[in-house]
A and B are shown apart, each in its own frame.
Chain A
Amino acid sequence: MTGYKCGLCKKSVKFDVKNIGMQCPYCGSKIFYKERPTIAKRIKSK
């Protein structure tokens, strides 16, 4: 299950990666943003 944020109502929803045709269960929107994991990311400045 992967966490997404609805583009319209901004609520967090979870979907299976295999899921086809994602739709927000709260508002019906089909636009999602992938939520950032809450871990620190270390990057080399190139």
Chain B
Amino acid sequence: MKVDVKELKPKKAIIQIEDIKPYFVNALRRIMISELPKLAVNEVVIYDNTSALFDEIISHRLGLVPIPTDLSLLLFKNECVCKGKGCPNCTVRYTLSKEGEGSVYSGDLLPAEKSWAIKEDKIPIVELYGDQRLILEVEAVLGRGRDHAKWQAIQAPAYRMEPIIEFDKTKLDDVKEFITKLPENLVSIKGNKLVLKDVTKLPIIESYISKENIDYITIERDPTKFLFHFETDGSFTAKDAILESVNILQKKYEELGKLLKNLK
């Protein structure tokens, strides 16, 4: 297996993985969607809300705010020593108090400890007019994407197989002429293959082939080479998210292995 990091930003990553089967990449993708734990607001205690939005809508909006998550410091509420009562080991508390004209943003949620401060601080929650006010307290706990979308840290993880674009060698002149019609620097000729400079631009060449009704160029997908890309909602960095997902996948395989060893 070969891994090449094509792009790594705080919230986005593109990784090329070679010599691998599609089901393995898909397992990683599904772990990212449904198994990677993250913090999200689960309970809201509203003391006063004279805004235009109902309490339930505000609590729903607060639930979707991404909260920076450090999995080494937190436990699931049902696995905690407090037995689900809520303690600093499993629950992160925030308060929000705002009155008067202006918007309430996610950054107005003040944590009990500064290390839990919300980084995505410009997410609008509600707009207040006149002397309207909003006073509340929230509890954020760890959860998984399979239980609710608010606990899904990774947005749109996806993979595409690398394309193999081949052409009939006897039609080399036609292929050269066809390339002149394409946008500049899109493809280059290598033997009887066309090599894309950027794999994400494949739909462009596909549309040209379809438009020109060309039958001497064929596009196939290589099921051993993948371009895996994903974005996080801000609760993890892209690097932490993929490393943590791989850990979870590894633990699941180990658990399965242990259970199978006990088979008689």
Instruction: List the A residue with the shortest CB-CB distance to B138.
Output: A45
Q: Which of B47, B49, B50, B63 contacts A45 (CB 8 A)?
A: B63
Query: B43 an interface residue at 8 Å Cβ cutoff?
Result: yes
Q: Which of B46, B50, B150 contacts A41 (CB 8 A)?
A: B46
**What separation, in Å, do the CA atoms of A8 and B42 have in the docked complex?**
38
Query: B41 an interface residue at 8 Å Cβ cutoff?
Result: yes
Chain B residues contacting A45 (CB-CB under 8 Å) are 40-44, 59-60, 62-63, 138, 150
The answer to whether B41 touches A43 (Cβ under 8 A) is no
Query: A40 an interface residue at 8 Å Cβ cutoff?
Result: yes
Query: A46 an interface residue at 8 Å Cβ cutoff?
Result: yes
Query: B121 an interface residue at 8 Å Cβ cutoff?
Result: no
Chain A residues contacting B46 (CB-CB under 8 Å) are 40-43
Minimum Cβ distance to chain A for residue B192 (Å): 57
Q: Which of A36, A40, A42, A46 contacts B60 (CB 8 A)?
A: A46
Chain B residues contacting A44 (CB-CB under 8 Å) are 42-44, 59
Could you tell me how many residues of chain A have their Cβ less than 8 Å away from some Cβ of chain B? 8
Minimum Cβ distance to chain B for residue A28 (Å): 22
Minimum Cβ distance to chain B for residue A8 (Å): 14
Chain B residues contacting A40 (CB-CB under 8 Å) are 45-47
Query: B127 an interface residue at 8 Å Cβ cutoff?
Result: no
The answer to whether B41 touches A42 (Cβ under 8 A) is no
**What separation, in Å, do the CA atoms of A20 and B131 have in the docked complex?**
30
The answer to whether A43 touches B48 (Cβ under 8 A) is no
Query: B18 an interface residue at 8 Å Cβ cutoff?
Result: no
**What separation, in Å, do the CA atoms of A44 and B47 have in the docked complex?**
14
The answer to whether B55 touches A43 (Cβ under 8 A) is yes
Task: Mark each residue of chain B from 9 to 50: 1 if its CB lies under 8 Å from any CB of chain A, else 0.
Answer: 000000000000000000000000000000011111111111
Interface residues of B (CB under 8 A from A): 40-50, 55-56, 59-60, 62-63, 138, 148, 150
Given contacts A41-B46, A43-B59, A45-B60, 13 further A-B contacts (CB under 8 A): A36-B48, A36-B49, A41-B55, A43-B44, A43-B45, A43-B46, A44-B59, A45-B43, A45-B44, A46-B56, A46-B59, A46-B60, A46-B148
